[in-house]
């Protein structure tokens, strides 16, 4: 798996470096007398990255195939938590910090391990209200409020 990842990364990085070089050529040159403008540095970096990704590709094609180890991945658990994290960010400024955080923690706790509904509710509530109270009431910061209506 590692070898295919390296090949993929090598190709993607090569494309990125080419794009970077092309894009930095488009940046307008020096604004004043200096010989070195804003484009020189990214241009050099782009070229170095290109060379390194070629080297990575060379290495990944040369190296022998590794023995594959079959790891046990928990895609389902991860997927649910990741998607609820995205939803959390999306809803944060709509339904407010308190509600979105509470819901996210509740879902994530239950996904990690089912059961013990009461204790997960209590811990989510303590964390959410604790942070909100400390930050907003004690330190005078502001967090998004419920703003649906």
Phi, psi of 65, deg, nearest 5: -65, 135
Q: What are the angstrom distances between the C-alpha of 75 and each of 8, 88, 110, 147? A: 21, 19, 16, 34
Residue 60 CA to residue 6 CA, distance in Å, equals 6
Asked if residues 15 and 49 have their Cβ atoms less than 8 Å apart, the reply is: no
Residue 38 CA to residue 31 CA, distance in Å, equals 9
For another protein, which is the closer residue by CB, 78 or 146?
Answer: 78
Residue 141 CA to residue 128 CA, distance in Å, equals 15
148 binds another protein (CB under 8 A): no
CB of 147 to another protein, least distance (A): 14
What count of other Cβ atoms lies within 10 Å of the Cβ of residue 114?
9
Tell me the number of residues near another protein by CB under 8 A. Answer: 63
CB of 149 to another protein, least distance (A): 21
CB of 111 to another protein, least distance (A): 8
Residue 1 CA to residue 66 CA, distance in Å, equals 8
123 binds another protein (CB under 8 A): yes
Residue 140 CA to residue 149 CA, distance in Å, equals 24
Site for another protein in 50-109 (CB under 8 A): 52-53, 55-56, 59, 71-75, 77-78, 81-82, 85-86, 88-90, 92-93, 97, 101, 104-105, 108-109
CB of 116 to another protein, least distance (A): 9
15 binds another protein (CB under 8 A): no
130 binds another protein (CB under 8 A): no
In eight-state DSSP terms, residue 2 is H
Residues that bind another protein (CB under 8 A): 2, 5-6, 9, 13, 20, 23-24, 27-28, 30-32, 34-42, 45-46, 48-49, 52-53, 55-56, 59, 71-75, 77-78, 81-82, 85-86, 88-90, 92-93, 97, 101, 104-105, 108-109, 112-113, 123, 127, 131, 135, 139-141, 143
């Amino acid at each position: 798996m590692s070898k295919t990842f390296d090949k993929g990364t090598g190709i993607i990085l090569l494309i990125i470096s080419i794009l970077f070089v092309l894009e930095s050529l488009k940046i307008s040159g020096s604004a004043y007398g200096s010989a070195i403008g804003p484009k020189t540095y990214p241009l050099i970096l782009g070229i170095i990255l290109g060379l390194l990704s070629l080297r990575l590709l060379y290495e990944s094609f040369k190296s022998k195939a590794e023995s594959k180890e079959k790891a046990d991945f928990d895609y389902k658990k991860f997927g649910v938590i990741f998607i609820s994290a995205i939803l959390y960010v999306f809803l944060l400024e709509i339904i407010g910090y308190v509600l979105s955080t509470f819901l996210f923690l509740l879902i994530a706790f239950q996904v990690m391990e089912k059961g013990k509904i009461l204790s997960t509710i209590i811990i989510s509530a303590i964390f959410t209200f604790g942070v909100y109270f400390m930050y907003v009431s004690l330190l005078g910061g502001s967090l998004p409020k419920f703003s649906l209506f």
